[in-house]
Amino acid sequence: MPKVERSASLREVAALADVSIQTVSNVLNAPHIVKSKTREKVLWAINDLEYIPNLSARRLRSKKSSSIAVRLDPNFSEGQDSKGLAPGFIQDEFVYCLVEAANTRGIKVIAYTVANGDSELSKLKTFINSRDVDGIILTATREKDERLEFLEASNSPFLSFGRPWGAAGMFSTSNPWIDIDGRSGTAAATQMFWDSNKRTIGFIGWENQQPKDGVARSTGEDRYLGWFEKLRELSGKSRSDISLATFGGESIESGRRAARELLHAAPELDAVVCVSDTLALGCLLEFQKKGLNHILVSGFDNSPVSKEFGFSSLDQNLSEVAESALKVLMGATGFQIRKVDFSAEHTNAHILLEPKLIVR
């Protein structure tokens, strides 16, 4: 008969690391309470012995499901609607990255949907009250978000992918979130065009997402400010020409219409920073139709569309988002989801990641 290899035990890990069994358990379940040098010794022993935690036994002891829920939403990115090209791509990639990262920690990802007319809040209440999941990852947070209020009141572990734009101050400071720094992304795209000797750089954003007082209250406003502030800095003017910005819905046709508006306002236009790949594609197609191939375009999301049509775009680094989300909810090496302790000095529960500019 073939020899069946036996996996290492918790006791063997403790012996190799020269610590107690309880210390090994703490490293696996509550690493933040273990001194860094001790934690490193235990992690080395775990890797050396290729120790595999008994997740089933842990679930029985802790009475936890070892799972996390995330909503599947085709309108994942703020400002995008069903005519957009990127939402499904971004959603699929994020959930895939989350599942991949969660697998290494023995955590299941439960994706849920909300039908038209149904309340997501009722879905969350069912999850929490039935203890079907240990934590929630929210998307598309908004002002006066009832989901945030419920999860906070229920003392449930959760994190939002996206800052709680415009929400009450307590949610932006005392609840965990992770987000993409869209402002730095569009600033980088503007800088790229300027370095290519483009001097009339326009912007196309989402409808009703233009900040009135220089303060961003949405993803679209944040991306607008990145372009606006960088162009103002580079041009040396007190303010960049507002006629170089236009706004509309998330569709290819909106991108084409916006391109025509920009050309009317600034015939010397030579580059455009777009809030999404969908709008960038519409803009590019309009320029090509008019034979204006010298005008450069950038988008946001680094979707397959940007690769196929060859325009620069900003990648949201979704694998890093997923890894960072689990670090917030589980610690750097933990195997259990827990509510973030904001009283701890080491807490890093507000993470802003820079997108990567993919130049084409």
Q: Domains in the chain, please, with CATH?
A: 10-52 (no CATH), 67-180+317-353 (3.40.50.2300), 182-315 (3.40.50.2300)
* pLDDT by residue, tens only, the chain of 360 residues: 444 455 677 788 889 999 988 888 777 766 667 787 888 888 888 878 877 665 444 544 445 557 888 887 655 554 444 344 555 567 778 888 888 888 887 888 888 877 765 678 888 888 888 777 888 888 777 667 788 888 888 888 888 888 877 654 545 566 788 899 999 999 999 999 999 999 999 999 998 777 777 788 888 999 999 999 999 999 887 656 667 999 988 999 999 999 999 999 999 999 999 999 999 999 999 999 999 999 999 999 999 999 999 999 999 999 999 998 888 888 776 666 777 766 665 557 788 999 999 999
Crossing angle of helices 10-17 and 21-29, in 10° steps, is 100
Alpha-carbon distance of 267 to 163, in angstroms, equals 37
Q: Classify 312 as helix, strand or coil.
A: strand
The reported pTM is 0.76
Alpha-carbon distance of 135 to 176, in angstroms, equals 12
Q: Which residue has the tokens 């999301």?
A: 301
If you ran DSSP here, which 8-state letter would residue 244 be given? G
Q: Which residues lie across from 245 on neighbouring strands?
A: 203
